[in-house]
Structure 1
């Protein structure tokens, strides 16, 4: 999984030239690494890192950080013409002490007795298939990274500390103990200052990760001395061999230095921590990595998503209702803008992905390298041409009350001649997603309203107009017929718009009315396209039901 050169594409001069000019954010980020080494030359391997705290189940924020870092890594390969080796290290801080029991795990009472102990010493509360809670969550992290085909190398803090891989840098930290304390102490409150140390000893008595003050430190011996909370005795311990771990901000700096990390991004809430860790990294003789601070994901209430709370969406929840590609697009778009990460964002993300994918083959290389799908697919986006968008499928499920894919395919095959589940596997998967999404999120909130007198008259005109159209009328023809009715109905005239004959245009309230009365929702894609898919006769039956009051009473 950690192959140095992971690009599948063959670079040509057009791609190289377009990359040099591209202002897509992954290229802007990759240029920081190019600038970092443009004078002194590149190391054997340029190191990218993402960090993971396995105190809770992996969530979409974790996926987003790996996905975005992978996009920057790919852009870097293009800028350097695929001549520089790279590695993406996904680092798990699984030696961290369990601060509190997450709300979304079983056997919480048992786990309470392990609070304070390293996550790799806490029993697995799930299936008992793993030796620890940390190992169980690490396995989940690797499973979903593998599921999406990320190219990475997994790293465990427990393994790195206990194997001695950090020993040399830990000793540097001990030699610079006073300098590091001088950086950190001013940032702490009075109470925390009294107990702070960059080293957190693992208690030989309780097994807990201790946050205790040091009463002595000896750089020559490589030891620290503290008072054991359980017994009150003075304990001198080596800082090597996994007998201590670092407090997380010091740990971050120590890791950057020891592993030579060149790029790592972090959430906006960690801006101050990045600055502090960067200072410590320099004290240790290292160079802080390049990176940027992305905005946080919010749940449906506007609160930051949290592993321990389990709010927001999980990976599996998103992928129950939409393909992986839609999630990748959501991660690409506006990384420095806070975004709600909840079920209602899924349909738009799906359709936007396929819209970008459809545009890609017709674009110049300049536009392709600004197209999200190029970054999402390492320069090789798939060729997919969907005859029906996802939002339209949702409306089709809503209008037809379809409970299975066969019913929907009856409509689709009539609309898109020759389309079958076999030759349109991508669309077939979307059909399944649409049915699940509709049943879980749209159906429970559907709210039809009865038409008033003007709306009844308008619906009757639409019914009469549809009756005179050919059964196979296309979406454009149907949409224009609807617009003609809207233009002559005073309520729906928009004098700020102009129709082709110079008269007033049609207000959006016209189509909003159609959706509210006939579909039971406020908006949707072009109604002419929906009728072409659903069928003229079927739409007339829907209008008849609305006029008879049958839809309102459902």
Structure 2
């Protein structure tokens, strides 16, 4: 069988970078700097999905650099976007600012120059804490400096053609009546209520009227002002259906991923870039959204937001990067309960990378090593770190609430898991302790059990749950396995899978005593 050639590090990220390069070469464009972009929403609280857009774009930047090209990530905050609704947990006083650009709304918490910058800073903090390097650009500065004025002019000159195309491509007829540009009303500072209806080409001004508009399912009152706005000097912004195209052309963007929720906008923007601005649209990849465990899209308005800041109370930055770099397609249900398995999976990848864990399948080996390198942002550690099973730490953290770090560390040394205390393990105990305090239940492991194993588990559960404590739990487990035709090593493995979600761990007898035999009996009973 012919061996397939490995591109870069053998991951989907490398494949994407390679496709991008091939396309750029076919277009005959310069390859001296390949810019990738990620748009940051600034109107709602940024969640893991928002972070994912920028993290994945950064992965493509790294892959391009690995293939020998210069690249940079532009993190663009859309802080001229109008506030459509008040996010869960934010003060009702924001009501008066609905429809205003978020960069013109005061920060309700008083720590940033605007509401928009408050939201952007949450996302930027997430990027900083995961080690992502970016060039930050704000919409308000971009428009104030007139960086898009040439593109705005060309788009407005062609507004009739664009309005017809939007209607044809996505069935939206609004832009056959109005221009795809929203000035900020000079009288009331609202954005979406000021609809422009005529472009004065020679003066580079739009005429607009501020009237009532439905925004976020709510009627927002316009002030009735008739005005003119200069596209180079006065504040305003392009509609989403055309703005990406203007940015791509102005900033020379070669790659941008998008979520399937904005597919229609991307379709139109691609056409505008290609046909109106004469700028070949960037290479794209579509990704699915993260869903909560109930199958709903993660969003702040639903109150189910999952922020990087909250995640990092329980998991390290590498667990976020692993989540985002594992794959890009397919909707995924996501919750904090995924953290233990991601923390353990990273350890497994590290063991594969350093040859401590053998993988016979060459394709899987290459992919696992490549994934490990991207999770480390291609800054590869010289050696593997000390590994401690995260679920083991969670179980121990549940037992020891007082002097937790010292007592859990002592147990790890007693079990032979580590030789000496070290700061990295101390930090892991802190994260797992936070997890133990906040979430009591761990997800039930999926384990295939035959009748003998189920019978042995039933007997062990009853033995551990009895009032009289077995003299030697380790030996009791061994005898129960033997007398029920279950290989003891297989039975121990089953117990580790049920208790720790892994196939090995510390000596099981003393560990069960530490957790509490009746507690373990209850857990085992769920699998019978």
Residue 246 of structure 1 and its aligned partner are, at CA, apart by 0.6
C-alpha distance in 2 between matches for 1:465 and 1:131: 65
Residue 341 of structure 1 and its aligned partner are, at CA, apart by 2.2
C-alpha distance in 2 between matches for 1:148 and 1:531: 35
Within-5 A mapping of 1:201-280: 201-211=183-193, 214-229=196-211, 232=224, 234-280=226-272
- Partner residue of 1:435? 433
- Partner residue of 1:381? 380
Decide which structure has the larger Cα Rg and report it: 1
C-alpha distance in 2 between matches for 1:351 and 1:95: 41
C-alpha distance in 2 between matches for 1:161 and 1:547: 64
- Partner residue of 2:513? 539
- Partner residue of 2:219? none
Relative to the length of structure 1, the TM-score reads 0.78
- 1:397 maps onto 2:397 in alignment: yes
Report if the CA contact (8 A) 1:197-1:212 is conserved. no
1:456 to 462, 473, 496: 462
C-alpha distance in 1 between matches for 2:514 and 2:315: 31
Report if the CA contact (8 A) 1:19-1:78 is conserved. no
- Partner residue of 1:124? 107
C-alpha distance in 2 between matches for 1:38 and 1:254: 22
Residue 271 of structure 1 and its aligned partner are, at CA, apart by 2.2
C-alpha distance in 2 between matches for 1:27 and 1:303: 31
C-alpha distance in 1 between matches for 2:373 and 2:342: 16
2:33 to 37, 45, 51: 45
Helix, strand or coil at the partner of 1:285 = coil
Residue 115 of structure 1 and its aligned partner are, at CA, apart by 0.9
2:145 to 163, 171, 181: 163
RMSD across aligned C-alpha pairs, in angstroms?
Answer: 3.7
- Partner residue of 1:488? 483
CA spacing shift, 1:307–1:288, aligned 2, 3 Å: farther
2:297 to 295, 300, 304: 304
CA spacing shift, 1:208–1:484, aligned 2, 3 Å: same
- Partner residue of 2:451? none
Report if the CA contact (8 A) 1:403-1:435 is conserved. no
Within-5 A mapping of 1:145-184: 145-184=127-166
- 1:85 maps onto 2:70 in alignment: yes
C-alpha distance in 2 between matches for 1:358 and 1:528: 15
- Partner residue of 1:288? 281
* CA offsets 1:487-533 (integer angstroms, 9 cap, x no match): 4326xx5xxxxx59xxxx9679x946x99xxxxxx54345862435x
* CA offsets 1:326-364 (integer angstroms, 9 cap, x no match): 111111122212122212111111100111112212289
Helix, strand or coil at the partner of 1:271 = helix
- Partner residue of 2:318? 325
CA spacing shift, 1:18–1:310, aligned 2, 3 Å: farther
* CA offsets 1:370-393 (integer angstroms, 9 cap, x no match): 432201223233233434311222
* CA offsets 1:169-204 (integer angstroms, 9 cap, x no match): 111112222221121133566774675431112111
Report if the CA contact (8 A) 2:34-2:253 is conserved. yes
CA spacing shift, 1:489–1:403, aligned 2, 3 Å: farther
Residue 235 of structure 1 and its aligned partner are, at CA, apart by 2.9
* CA offsets 1:305-328 (integer angstroms, 9 cap, x no match): 113444132112111111111111
Q: Any stretches of 5+ residues in structure 1 without a counterpart? A: 1-16, 469-480, 494-498, 516-521
C-alpha distance in 2 between matches for 1:141 and 1:379: 22
Residue 144 of structure 1 and its aligned partner are, at CA, apart by 2.8
Relative to the length of structure 2, the TM-score reads 0.82
C-alpha distance in 2 between matches for 1:395 and 1:232: 63
Report if the CA contact (8 A) 1:223-1:237 is conserved. yes
C-alpha distance in 1 between matches for 2:411 and 2:419: 10
Aligned residue pairs total 489
Helix, strand or coil at the partner of 2:97 = coil
C-alpha distance in 2 between matches for 1:430 and 1:354: 13
* CA offsets 1:408-464 (integer angstroms, 9 cap, x no match): 111111223762333xx2222111112221122127999xxxx97675358899956
Report if the CA contact (8 A) 1:55-1:308 is conserved. no
C-alpha distance in 2 between matches for 1:456 and 1:167: 76
Report if the CA contact (8 A) 2:179-2:196 is conserved. yes
1:98 to 80, 83, 93: 83
C-alpha distance in 1 between matches for 2:521 and 2:141: 70
CA spacing shift, 1:22–1:483, aligned 2, 3 Å: farther
CA spacing shift, 1:224–1:454, aligned 2, 3 Å: closer
C-alpha distance in 1 between matches for 2:50 and 2:338: 18
Report if the CA contact (8 A) 2:396-2:408 is conserved. yes
State which drifts further: 322-331 or 212-221: 212-221
Report if the CA contact (8 A) 1:197-1:211 is conserved. no
Within-5 A mapping of 1:326-475: 326-362=319-355, 367-368=365-366, 370-371=368-369, 372-382=371-381, 383-398=383-398, 404-416=404-416, 419-422=419-422, 425-442=423-440, 455-456=461-462, 463=470
